Amino acid sequence: MKANVTVHRDFAISPIDDRVYSSFLEHLGRAIYTGIYEPGHPTADADGFRGDVLDLVRAVKTPYVRYPGGNFVSAYNWEDGIGPRDQRPTRLDLAWRTRDDNRIGVNEFVDWCKKADTKPMLAVNLGSRGLDAARNFVEYCNHPGGSYWSDLRRSHGWKDPHNVKLWCLGNEMDGPWQVGHKTAEEYGRLANETAKAMRLFDKSLELVVCGSSNSDMPTYPDWEATVLEHTYDSIDHISLHMYFANNEHDTLNYLAKAEKLDRYINTIGGVIDFIKAKKRSKKDVKISFDEWNVWYHSREQDKKILEGDEWPDAPHLLEDLYNFEDVLQVGGILNTFIRRADRVKIACIAQLVNVIAPIMTEEGGPAWKQTIYYPFLYASLYGRGTSLRAVVDGPTYDSTSGDDVPYLDVSAVRSPEGDAVTFFVVNRHLTETLDLTAALEGFPKASLVEHIQMTHPDLRAINTAANPDNVVPKTVSGTHVEAGTLMSKLPPLSYNVIRLSV
């Protein structure tokens, strides 16, 4: 089968915000405890943070990490995580039916972010709490000194302010499962007043308001319209969440779900434009897709904890073991964010360590890269710059998730310096090699740097502590550029990163 792609140097979609390669850590399962933090581990530093995990996080260059939730935040008292550790209370987490002794709080998390070469994206509790706790949290984090909350931080050993600029106004408040769930009217008013108060402290803060938990919610997309009606001029981003599953074991339909993601973004983009016009506003609200990933492998085993009465500490929860098929899905999701760089300015893979995560650890043992680590790594490394419009002419298929789904899924990125173009390409076909021909208009001196590829004969193949390199990328030959045309043969069910010097 043949597929033709055309890109042009001057036909750009939008600059890509680096924050689209952000991630997420929640007080859930082993994300924090025995994930990023494990005193006594052979690689742990003086603060108890695992060095092996830090190495893997630094390598992926994730610009922001969202914290502390997630569903957890909607019943979280941020004050529980500050002050002397021996005086911090142990609380029951209603969202995940576990206990947390609060050894890690905002100060320790900010310290970890500095070690990991990333920045914090903090969420405030608008479920069980509200405006007052939020404004105090911001003051504690960001005021230099001379006030109650800032002086309290200084007394805890953090003299300098954290200067956290990116804040989420609650989490998934449209969801009936959420502690303090609200109607769109209730939440919109609360979020607006909270945003106004936070901006009275610092009008340079970037604020994210809750959109829909997924596009199948019965309130979608009315929720976004109502919430933005209240908050449009007070916030900067509206959050969207989506998780992907293949419970039917239908690979083609599974991979087509990226098309549903694109429709989701397109729809909410339209809602944003509608409210902007209605308010006669000059402001552009953007999308923060701050929870996304594959999530379905661990759901059955998680029921024992989520439906039990034991309230364990840092249990094995949401520990999906990702397979090669998930590489193709994650590659397609990232391609969608690159193609919708005009709308999506922040995106957070959920999550980062152990909990539906690209990085796994064993307590006292190794850390390793799950299969999905690689497409996230390569997108973060080479997917920065400007998103180019890639016009595709090739075969398609129909599925439950959408019709006319292209077998060739592609995004193209020109580097910030303008001297490189990278194609991220997924061949979704089950059995056929795709003969790719890409016209590189405006790039007469283009030459191949490398072609990185991921394939595997077993879609269910995973990486484990015992076999961490079962599914890994490799550099392949056979791809070449002649007279401004890229030519390559893409194996069936393959993920490809084709890097060009231009």
pLDDT tens by residue, 196-232: 999 999 999 999 999 999 999 999 999 999 999 999 9
Q: Which of 108, 139, 206, 291 is catalytic?
A: 291
* Residue range 19-30, pLDDT digits in tens: 999 999 999 999
CA count, 13 A, side-chain hemisphere, 423? 37
* Residue range 89-99, pLDDT digits in tens: 999 999 999 99
- 450 labelled catalytic: no
How far is 380 from 384, CA to CA, in rounded Å? 7
How far is 99 from 95, CA to CA, in rounded Å? 11
Going by C-beta distance under 8 Å and a sequence separation of 6 or more, which residues neighbour residue 461?
323, 324, 371, 470, 471
Q: Which of 26, 79, 139, 172 is catalytic?
A: 172
pLDDT score of 304: 85
How far is 169 from 154, CA to CA, in rounded Å? 25
305 pLDDT more than 90: no
Helix-strand-coil split of the chain, %, nearest 5: 30, 30, 40
* Residue range 98-129, pLDDT digits in tens: 999 999 999 999 999 999 999 999 999 999 99
User: Which token pair is 435?
Assistant: 């003969």
- 172 labelled catalytic: yes
Cβ atoms of residues 254 and 325 within 8 Å: yes
Query: Torsion angle, CA of 395/400/402/405, rounded to 10 degrees?
Result: -20
Q: What is the 3-state secondary structure (H, E, C) of 361-401?
A: ECCCCCEEECCCHHHHHHHHHHCCCEEECCEEECCEEEECC
pLDDT score of 22: 98
Q: What is the DSSP string of 283-308?
A: ---EEEEEEEEE--TTHHHHHHHHTS
* Residue range 182-192, pLDDT digits in tens: 999 999 999 99
